[in-house]
Amino acid sequence: MYSSNKPDSIPCTCTTVKKLSRVLGKSYDAALSEAGINITQLAVLRCISRRSGEPLSHVADELEMDRTSLYRAIAPMERDGWISIEDGNDARSRTAKLLRKGNSVLKKADKGWDEIQSKILGRFGKDEWLTLVSALNRLADCALD
């Protein structure tokens, strides 16, 4: 899955991580489908829940998303009544709050998320996962220089 055409080459870090992200995303999306949500929406809703009333720029920063992508992701959530978007403290700032329907979607999604998370960690190993998270955070730091 992560091989290169060149026998002695080292796989591209970005391509390798993006491939892994797509594989994991498909698994999580399938597990969350009964709740009518995908993994990106779940991450955004959880972050909005944690940062209720804070500027959406904080949500974008925490999720490492540009604001355009965040606004594209939250538009259907606002339309479907999961969140409300309000003006922030200044003319350029907006905030989001989770609504009752959004809380209900989160609760429904938790079951599917718990199942796929447990399945993957059970196969991979919790200690190995924690080691990988540490290595991935170090890799991210290397890219920021």
CA–CA distances in Å: residue 63 to residues 7, 43, 48, 96, 113:
36, 8, 10, 15, 18
Q: What is the pLDDT of residues 42-74, one digit of tens each?
A: 999 999 999 988 999 999 999 999 999 999 999
Total number of domains constituting the chain? 1
Q: Average pLDDT for residues 91-100, to the nearest whole number?
A: 88
Residue 66 domain flag: yes
Per cent of the chain over pLDDT 70 is 93
Residue 139 domain flag: no
Residue 93 domain flag: yes
Q: What is the pLDDT of residues 7-22, one digit of tens each?
A: 568 999 999 999 999 9
Contact 42, 29 (CB under 8 A): no
Structural domain for 63, as ranges:
25-109
Contact 12, 45 (CB under 8 A): no
Q: What is the CATH number of the domain that holds 87?
A: 1.10.10.10
Angle, CA 31 vertex, CA 53 and CA 138 arms, to 5°: 65
Residue 134 domain flag: no
**For the whole model, what pTM was predicted?**
0.86
Structure tokens at 72: 């594209």
